[in-house]
Structure 1
C-alpha cells in the first residue's frame, strides 16, 4: 500500500470506530440522563451516525476491511459512563463524548479533507464536517457558563427540598 492509501484506511478505521463509540455512549445517555441538552445531543449523534456508519461500512467493504473494534480508551470511557448516573454521568458524557471525541473527530476530518487523495472519501469527509461542528457547539452550550449556573441552581435546590421533606416526616 502507498502511504496515501494507508492514511486513508487509517482515517476510515478511526471514523468508523469513533462513530460506533459515540452511538454506544449516546444510547447510554438516552437510558441514563434526564438532562434535555444531553439527551438532545445523544439523539443528534445517533441520527448523524446512523447514515454515516452505513456509508463507512461501504467504504470499508470496498477496501476489504472489517468494521473496527473500539479503541481501548473508548471502551474504558464506556465502562466509566456505565457506572455513573445523574449529574456526574451528564458531565462525563458531555466532556468525553460531546467535547473530547467531537473535537478529535473534527481535527481528524479537517486533516483528512486537506490530505486524502480519493475524491469520494474527501467529499464524504467534507459532507460530514458541518454536522460534527454543530454537535460540538451543542455540547459546548450544554457545558457553558449558563448550563453550569443552571446545574448549580438545581443542585442548591435539591438538598433544601430533601431536608424539608425529611423534617416533615413523623
Structure 2
C-alpha cells in the first residue's frame, strides 16, 4: 500500500500512543518527567528524623511512583524489590548505592539527575552518607508489593555492623 502526501495528516493510520509506559526507557522517561515537574512534588516533601519519609505520588496500569526523602545517615537497608523492576532518580542531593551481584560488590554515587534502573532480584542498599538532605523518586513496575530485607554485608570501605 502506498500513501501519497504526509502520513501524519492521517492520524488513524498511526500506531496508538500508549496510555502508560511499557518499556524501561519509557519508565525512565516517566521518572525524568516527574523530576522535572517540581511543582507537583516539592510541596509534598517531608523529612522524618527517625526513618526515611515516603509518599506514593501516582499509580497507573501496572506501575507506581513514590517520592522519598533522606536525611543524612538514613538508609534503605539491604533489600530487593520482589517481582518489581524499577527506576530510581535523584531529585536533590546525593545518595550512595551499594549493590551486590555475581561480579561482587559495587558502590555508586548518585547525584542530582542520576538514574538507576534495576530488575527483579537486584539487591542493593541506598544511603544518604552526606551532610545534606536528599530527595528521590522511584518508579516500580509492576507496583511494589514486596521488599525482601537481607543482612548487611561488607562492601569496600564499609563495615558489617548490624543488619537491615
What is the TM-score with the length of structure 2 in the denominator?
0.24
Structure number having the greater strand percentage:
2
What is the TM-score with the length of structure 1 in the denominator?
0.23
